[in-house]
């Protein structure tokens, strides 16, 4: 196997297998970013006089060919290559001879992989942002569509006060705004250029790090070369934290859906094709999609803790421990995207029960606060009204005779069932997604 660090002594096969692990397979998703980083790097080398312009043009042409192979799905990581970086160099030296080896001047595999990872994480965060905006849009549309449909609210798992499907869907739309802020914060951390920090202590070459920053579209530099290397692990942890926040929102929504689909609730339903049955009970329509999503999002939320543990107690500088971060973070990124996509699919097929209150006194107690408030408006002190209604409930005498509709309940303050503030929340998301 060709390694960039080979000094003429072959590593024992057992050591090689143990240290490389699954890295080669995971590296394939970094391929195009490795080429992009190399293209920017050699453009800079040519500008500062470390690479003749005609040689840079030959290298750029071959790198473009490799990029084309990657985009067409024709690029492979050969058995002789240790990682994506060595594979790109192998391809270049096959085509250009010793000229292909010049792309490594002024950089280390440490800053090379950092660039690849940051470009990859930046692209994934942008994709997830777009998917979250899709989910936000459908939640807001459902909120407006069903804003007049009463839904019992719960605290401590018990019937509490009147809510609505508009308030419920809208709540998760606004919760995504917080998650978008978290994603944006991770994006800011990732979107800094480490290229030129080399192994962590810079280079004696007159590198122009500002140029590679511009060429790669980074917002800023990791200026201090040691700090640049310290961003390994920190960047992954920031992304994991943002994914965990988003996963927590999806997790809670999945839990609600599992409950609301239950035969004791029947608040929402989905086509038979999106639910599963029982091998023995013919009446069952199980919420397997939401249950699996609940489990997947729980696992995603644990990613930050795993990364934190792997990077704890490490002094500054590169350590091979960092290699395992890809094996932890990459599946979490895939899982987040999968969960959002499935959530979108399910919401496109959701049905709400518009007659939850019809012919049932089960939910009458959720109107006790309405009755207390009515008495207060008539001049009864709140504590006296509260006590009177409480006694009536205890003795089974409470009967609510007021309106059981969103319009009739007169909840008008910002964020209530009668004033969902959909446009204000939409504006908040627009600001949150402006990275």
Query: How far is residue 207's CA from residue 197's CA, in Å, rounded to a whole number?
Result: 10
Backbone angles phi, psi at 163, to 5 degrees: -125, -165
Q: In terms of Cα–Cα distance, which of 148, 176, 162 is closest to 419?
A: 148
Question: Does residue 179 contact residue 432 with C-beta atoms inside 8 Å?
Answer: no
Query: Which of the 8 DSSP states describes residue 286?
Result: B
Residues 6+ apart with CB under 8 A from 236: 117, 121, 307, 325, 328, 329
Annotation says 360 is catalytic: no
- Using DSSP's 3-state secondary structure scheme, residue 111 falls into helix
R_g of the chain computed on alpha carbons: 29
Annotation says 283 is catalytic: no
Residues 6+ apart with CB under 8 A from 233: 307, 310, 311, 314, 322, 325
Neighbours of 407 (CB within 10 A): 10
Query: How far is residue 229's CA from residue 165's CA, in Å, rounded to a whole number?
Result: 48
- Enumerate the β-bridge partners of residue 152: 162
Question: Does residue 61 contact residue 100 with C-beta atoms inside 8 Å?
Answer: no
- CA dihedral over 118, 34, 113, 22, signed as positive or negative: positive
| Choice among 86, 105, 156, 351 that is catalytic | 156
Long-range contacts of 375-384 (CB under 8 A, 24+ apart): none
Strands 268-269 and 351-352: antiparallel
Query: How far is residue 261's CA from residue 51's CA, in Å, rounded to a whole number?
Result: 65
| Choice among 197, 278, 405, 430 that is catalytic | 278
- Using DSSP's 3-state secondary structure scheme, residue 2 falls into strand
Residues serving a catalytic function are 156, 278
């Amino acid at each position: 196997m060709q390694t960039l660090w080979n000094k003429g002594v072959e590593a024992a096969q057992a050591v090689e297998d143990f240290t490389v692990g699954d890295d080669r397979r995971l590296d394939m998703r970094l391929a195009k970013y490795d080429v992009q980083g190399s293209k920017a790097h050699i453009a800079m080398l040519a500008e500062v006089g470390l690479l003749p312009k005609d040689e840079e043009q030959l290298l750029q042409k071959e790198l473009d060919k490799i990029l084309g192979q990657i985009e067409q799905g024709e690029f492979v990581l050969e058995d002789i290559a240790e990682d994506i970086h060595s594979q790109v160099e192998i391809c270049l030296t096959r085509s250009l001879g010793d000229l292909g080896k010049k792309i490594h001047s002024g950089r280390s595999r440490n800053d090379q992989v950092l660039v690849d990872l940051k470009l990859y994480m930046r692209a994934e965060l942008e994709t997830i942002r777009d998917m979250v905006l899709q989910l936000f849009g459908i939640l807001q549309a459902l909120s407006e569509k069903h804003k007049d449909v009463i839904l019992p609210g719960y605290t401590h798992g018990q019937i509490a006060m009147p809510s609505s499907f508009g308030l419920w869907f809208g709540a998760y739309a606004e919760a995504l705004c917080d998650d978008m802020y978290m994603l944006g914060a991770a994006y800011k951390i990732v979107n800094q250029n480490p290229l030129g920090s080399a192994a962590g202590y810079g280079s004696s070459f007159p590198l122009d790090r500002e140029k590679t920053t511009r060429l790669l579209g980074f917002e800023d530099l990791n200026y201090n070369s040691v700090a640049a290397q310290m961003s390994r692990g920190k960047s992954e942890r920031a992304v994991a934290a943002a994914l965990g926040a988003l996963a927590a929102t999806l997790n809670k929504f999945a839990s609600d859906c599992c409950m609301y689909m239950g035969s004791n609730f029947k608040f929402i339903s989905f086509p038979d094709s999106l639910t599963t049955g029982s091998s023995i009970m013919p009446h069952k329509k199980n919420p397997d999609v939401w249950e699996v999503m609940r489990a997947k999002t729980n696992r995603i939320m644990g990613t930050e803790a795993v990364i934190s543990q792997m990077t704890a107690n490490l002094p500054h500088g590169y350590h091979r421990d960092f290699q395992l971060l890809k094996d932890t973070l990459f599946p979490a990124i895939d899982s987040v995207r999968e969960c959002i996509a499935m959530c979108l699919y399910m919401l496109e097929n959701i049905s709400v029960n518009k007659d939850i209150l019809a012919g049932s006194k089960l939910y009458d107690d959720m109107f006790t606060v309405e009755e207390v408030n009515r008495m207060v408006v008539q001049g009864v002190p709140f504590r006296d009204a509260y006590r009177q209604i409480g006694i009536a409930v205890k003795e089974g005498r409470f009967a609510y005779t007021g309106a059981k509709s969103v319009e009739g309940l007169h909840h008008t303050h910002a964020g209530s069932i009668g004033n969902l503030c959909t446009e204000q929340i939409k504006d908040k998301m627009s600001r949150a997604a402006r990275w």
